[in-house]
Amino acid sequence: MVTVTATGMAMPRETVKVSRNIYKPYLMTIVDMRDETHDTRTLRLQFKDPEIAQTFDWKPGQFAQYSVFGVGECVFTIANSPTRKGYIECTFRQVGKVTSALRDMEIGQTIGFRGPYGNWFPVEEWEGKRLYFVGGGIGTVALRGVMQYCLDNRKLYDEILILNAARTVADLVYKSEMDEWAKVDGVTLVKAVDPGGETPDWDGKVGLAPNVFEELKPTPENAILVTCGPPIMIRFMLLAAERLGFKPEQVYTTLENRMKCGLGKCGRCNVGPYYVCKDGPVFTAAQLAKLPKDF
């Protein structure tokens, strides 16, 4: 194994292990799968090589390339925390050729995996602070790994709020896990759907995620806000955070911006001064302020 330096702007320089040949994927077996919504699925993967399974490591927030041989590969976040080793999970929405092929696969079949890539959430810097996680729809996937990390290391952090929001009840991801999150001491779980997206038996909030977050009146003192969702949601979450008194350095999000190679070679994810695959996918609101106004 060799190491490469992660040069993300949101945390200190560190090293993480990657495969010896950065273009050659690991072979992984699908050992379990679960449908989150009608078009979103979570796969649990295990390395075919037992030695790699024991030594592979990553940081919360990093991503990987998942490939269906003969079809292509796609970028997804590593959806589980490194505190839960022995497997890798990815959650994806069926939107194109590769994700359709991935959804057609069955337990026991083999896919490729390259990574980990990108920077990560500076969870060590957050110790002792109050944490707010706000996810919208499929954007909650980008938060799951870091949420798991913080829940698994609960004693290191102050109170934790998780707001899991979506357009409709049917679009909420990780519905089967929300009870588990809520049972952790010091964790408050809030679920919300857009107006019109509720069902007769809905017992959560009704409202747009930024509005619901403001209504909860979170204090910015000694706090970190982590949010991800559709671009329009992120935009209004940043505005809500500003109104609530959060400083740009306290607010984190993740971007995708058409990542393809994962290595900063193709240039597809370049925006302003950043390559999302190398300088991200984790960014602070302070960094986003440097991006072109029309981004």
The average confidence (pLDDT) of the chain is 91
Residue 294: the pLDDT is 57
Tell the residue number behind the tokens 């560190």, with chain if given: 14
Per-residue burial over 206-218, b if 16 or more Cβ lie within 10 Å, else e, is: ebbbbbbbbebeb
Residues 6+ apart with CB under 8 A from 287: 9, 10, 274
| Count of all residues that appear for the chain in the document | 295
Q: What is the mean pLDDT of residues 143-167?
A: 98
Q: Poorest-confidence range of 116-120, 154-158, 188-192, 267-271?
A: 267-271
- pTM for this structure? 0.90
Q: Can you tell me whether residue 1 is helix, strand or coil?
A: coil
pLDDT tens digit sequence for 43-79: 999 999 999 998 999 999 999 999 999 999 999 999 9
pLDDT tens digit sequence for 219-246: 999 999 999 999 999 999 999 999 999 9
21: which DSSP letter?
Answer: S
Please write down the HEC assignment for all residues of 52-100.
HHHHCCCCCCCEEEEEECCCEEEEEECCCCCCCCCCEEEEEECCCHHHH
Tell the residue number behind the tokens 């490591």, with chain if given: 57
Q: Poorest-confidence range of 19-23, 25-29, 149-153, 220-224?
A: 19-23
Q: What percent of the chain has pLDDT over 70?
A: 92
pLDDT tens digit sequence for 254-289: 987 678 888 888 888 888 888 898 999 999 999 999
pLDDT at 9 > cutoff 50: no
